Structure 1
Amino acid sequence: MVLKLYGFDISSKFRLVAIVLFEKKIPFECHVVDWTKNEHKSPEYLEKHPFGQVPYLLEAKYPNQGPKLAPDSSDIKAKAMFDQAASIEVSNFGPLVDKASYEAVMKPT
């Protein structure tokens, strides 16, 4: 089965998901959703994701495919450290990268 990855092709989050899928050797096809044209709010896209956001995939869905990207839940300390790092990334680093990316790439000149 080939996964369909929907998102804006210049988005850092879209590219991050594509990198993870590539690293895990999970076949996928890209479907560009241009948020500058509000395509993520179209009725067709809202059928796929009712919140009008780019969907995400959990690595746990493909545990035996490609390299392990997160520790097993059986190693509580390693899982906690991973979750802590992921939380810091999402809460602190991610928003700054989003702003910098917008300023460098998307902001009209």
Structure 2
Amino acid sequence: MALKIHGHANAPLVRLVAEVCREKEVPYELVNVEVYKGEHKTPAFKEFQPFGQVPYINDDGFILYESRAICRYIAKKYASQGTPDLVPREPKAEAIFEQAVSIETSNFYPFALGITAEKIIKKHRGLEPNEARLSDLVSNLKAKLDVYEVILGKQAYLAGDNITLADLFHLPYGTIVFEELGYDMLEDRPNVARWWKDITARPSWLAVKAKA
């Protein structure tokens, strides 16, 4: 039975889970959730995802929500297939991996998500962006990427010389900020640009870049 991803095909974190499924060669079925009609806020949906957010998965009766937890689960359950060691197993390597995940969670995601909210989500709601907040978010993200430039000048990926989930977690919102919204944060950071070109060229991401 294929793993079922409940969410909208265009949702960034739904596409992230689908990308990891492809990395690990795990068949999946997308169960469409009409988020623009508020289906994710209904009691029927919130029975499985109490925060009313997408995605959640159903893996042969096992229900799990929160995209990063889902990706870890897939990487560990199907460790023997597809791209190896998306979550390293050796204790020190795993600790460095968790450090890299924390980098993304604390120093990338809040700013990239904030920019997306100001430029896209507010537009969908008929609102204007807060330009002062937007400027602050962009400045903060650029400062964080300056540190990325140093880290990636010493190694190929955020957790070392092999790709991990820590790198892949950047794909959905990085694509929105750097490509869809056109914020030029890579040209002056050649190590970040090299890394970004590498991870965005993966067949698994190209397959779900537009929709899961």
SS of match in other structure, 2:25? coil
**Aligned equivalents of 2:101, 2:12: Cα separation in 1:** 16
1:62 aligned residue: 78
1:71 aligned residue: 88
Gaps of 5+ in 2: 56-64, 127-212
SS of match in other structure, 2:108? helix
**Aligned equivalents of 1:102, 1:63: Cα separation in 2:** 34
Aligned pairs (5 A) from 1:1-109 = 1-53=1-53, 54=55, 55=65, 56=67, 57=70, 58=73, 59-68=75-84, 69-72=86-89, 75-108=90-123
Offset of 1:41 from its aligned partner?
Answer: 1.8
State how many pairs are aligned.
107
Offset of 1:4 from its aligned partner?
Answer: 1.0
Offset of 1:66 from its aligned partner?
Answer: 1.2
Q: 1:5-26 deviations in whole A, cap 9, x for unaligned?
A: 1223333222111111111110
**Aligned equivalents of 1:52, 1:20: Cα separation in 2:** 22
Identity percentage over the alignment?
42
Cα gap change, 1:92 to 1:24, in 2 (>3 Å): same
From the CA coordinates, give the structure whose radius of gyration is larger: 2
